[in-house]
């Protein structure tokens, strides 16, 4: 089984790169990043997998045994699905709150031969979806993978100032009950939040 990440963000922030790195670590030499048009983005992703400028929608148009992980799908991903799947597509999307259904609009609705599957009612991050996909590939049922919804990250900047970021997504737990996160994830999120706030104050919205 090959995992395809369809890159759908305008640029690759440090936050998004952490998500992609996690997918690469989980699936090692079985990852393809598609729809990567910018040379800069391609250079960032080259160490992580095979890169295509072309969209997964075009690459997989005539392929069979393709699954799209889509939160809006009616059917849940099953262990048996992994036995037939040749490709599984994950949307390279930084989630919206509330979700806007971008996977359905930009991938599922355009990839007619693919089978959409969900991994639960909540919206997971890219890394979280990859972890659950791997667990199902190893034989665990989706419902057996526990998760927490919402993650608060705090950091004291000075004695009087503390920054807090709340992420309204689902995060899987490993078998020891620990939240599964990419390495240095929380530091990157806090850095991203500070850069984003600075960009808003200076009317510069590109935080990549």
Confidence of residue 63 (pLDDT cuts 50, 70, 90): very high
The whole-number pLDDT of residue 44 equals: 97
The reported pLDDT for the residue numbered 205 is: 56
Residue with tokens 């080259």: 46
CATH code reported for the domain at 2-145: 3.40.1280.30
132, 168 contact by CB (below 8 A): no
The residue with greater pLDDT, 154 or 79, is 79
Average pLDDT of the residues in 110-116: 95
Helix and strand element counts for the chain (H, E): 7, 8
Query: pLDDT of 79-105, one tens digit each?
Result: 999 999 999 999 999 977 788 899 999
Q: What is the pLDDT of residue 200?
A: 43
* Beta-strand runs (E) in 129-199: 147-156, 162-172
* pLDDT tens profile 165-208: 899 999 999 999 999 999 999 999 988 877 655 554 455 556 67
Cα(90)–Cα(179) distance, rounded to whole angstroms? 20
Rounded to an integer, the average pLDDT of 6-33 is: 96
Tell me the two tokens of residue 132. Answer: 């659950």
**Domain spans of the chain?**
2-145
- Counting residues of the chain whose pLDDT is more than 70, the rounded percentage is 94
Predicted structure pTM score? 0.92
Mean pLDDT, rounded, of the chain: 92
Of 94, 105, 10, 5, the closest CA to residue 52 belongs to 5
SS (H, E, C) 52-92: CCCCHHHHCCCCCCEEEECCCCCCECCCCHHHHCCEEEEEE
pLDDT at 204: 55
Higher pLDDT, 115 or 190: 115
């Amino acid at each position: 089984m090959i995992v395809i990440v369809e890159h759908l963000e305008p640029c690759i922030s440090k936050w998004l790169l952490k998500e992609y790195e996690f997918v690469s670590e989980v699936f090692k030499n079985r990852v393809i990043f598609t729809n990567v048009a910018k040379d800069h983005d391609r250079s960032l992703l080259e160490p992580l997998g095979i890169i295509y400028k072309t969209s997964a929608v075009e690459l997989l148009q005539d392929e069979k045994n393709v699954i799209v992980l889509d939160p809006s799908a009616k059917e849940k991903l099953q262990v048996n699905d992994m036995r037939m799947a040749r490709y599984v597509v994950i949307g390279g999307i930084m989630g919206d709150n509330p979700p806007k259904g971008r996977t359905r609009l930009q991938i599922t609705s355009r990839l007619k031969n693919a089978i959409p599957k969900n991994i639960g009612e909540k919206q997971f991050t890219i890394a979280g979806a990859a972890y659950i996909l791997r667990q199902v590939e190893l034989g665990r049922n989706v419902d057996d993978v526990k998760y927490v919804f919402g993650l608060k990250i705090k950091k004291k900047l000075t004695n009087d100032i503390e920054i807090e970021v709340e992420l309204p997504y689902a995060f899987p737990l490993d078998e020891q009950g620990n939240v599964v996160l990419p390495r240095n994830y929380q530091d990157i999120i806090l850095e991203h939040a500070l850069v984003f706030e600075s960009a808003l104050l200076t009317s510069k919205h590109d935080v990549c």
